[in-house]
Amino acid sequence: MNQEEPKIQIDSDWKAEAQAEKERLAKQVETAQAKTDRPGAGELPPADFQTLIGTFASQAVMGLGAVRDPKSGGVVVDLPGAKFAIDLLAVVEEKTKGNLSEQESRELKQALSELRTRFVQISEAVAGQAAGAPAAGPVIDPSKP
């Protein structure tokens, strides 16, 4: 009987192939990270137009009662502060007319429309509560969108 030992074939470029695979994977990770616009923990969001609009909108929403007082549990409404943030967004809209992409313009108009509507609703609810009369229409909880 003639037994043949198995032959081991050694690929001389296995190191080169392994390095190429490593570089390919590193590039995929880098591309995936570049596509992710979300900041990590402790990082700030990108300083862009969308973040500017979001910052002003967040301030307005907070003034419209989205935040509860941690001590009392009651809703904190700051109508002058909310109006100021909405007015700042209107200034941004006016000053950037013709200089925004369609998407930026649409997002700004939508934010302003929603905030103005919410401001009127909350203002009416606050005025009704101050007068002791029930609010005209449904009761609005400012902390819920």
- pLDDT tens, N- to C-terminus, the chain (145 residues): 556 666 655 555 556 666 666 666 666 666 655 555 566 667 888 999 999 999 999 999 999 988 888 888 888 899 999 999 999 999 999 999 999 999 999 999 999 999 999 999 999 988 888 887 555 555 555 555 5
Residue 123 belongs to what domain range?
49-65+77-131
Collect all residues with Cβ–Cβ distance below 8 Å to 96 and sequence separation of at least 6: 104, 108
List the structure tokens of 76: 């904190």
Please tell me the predicted confidence (pLDDT) of residue 123.
92
Burial of 100 (0-12, 13-18, 19+ CB in 10 A): middle
Please tell me the predicted confidence (pLDDT) of residue 33.
57
Q: Residue 105 domain-assigned?
A: yes
Are the C-beta atoms of residues 87 and 112 closer than 8 Å to each other? no
Distances (CA, A) of 99 to 69, 77, 95, 102: 40, 34, 9, 10
Are the C-beta atoms of residues 63 and 139 closer than 8 Å to each other? no
Please tell me the predicted confidence (pLDDT) of residue 39.
61
Q: How many domains does the chain have?
A: 1
Q: Residue 100 domain-assigned?
A: yes
Q: Residue 108 domain-assigned?
A: yes
Q: Residue 55 domain-assigned?
A: yes
Q: Residue 28 domain-assigned?
A: no
Q: Residue 89 domain-assigned?
A: yes
Q: Residue 71 domain-assigned?
A: no
Q: Rounded to 5 degrees, what are φ and ψ at 75?
A: -80, 135
Please tell me the predicted confidence (pLDDT) of residue 9.
54
Q: Residue 114 domain-assigned?
A: yes
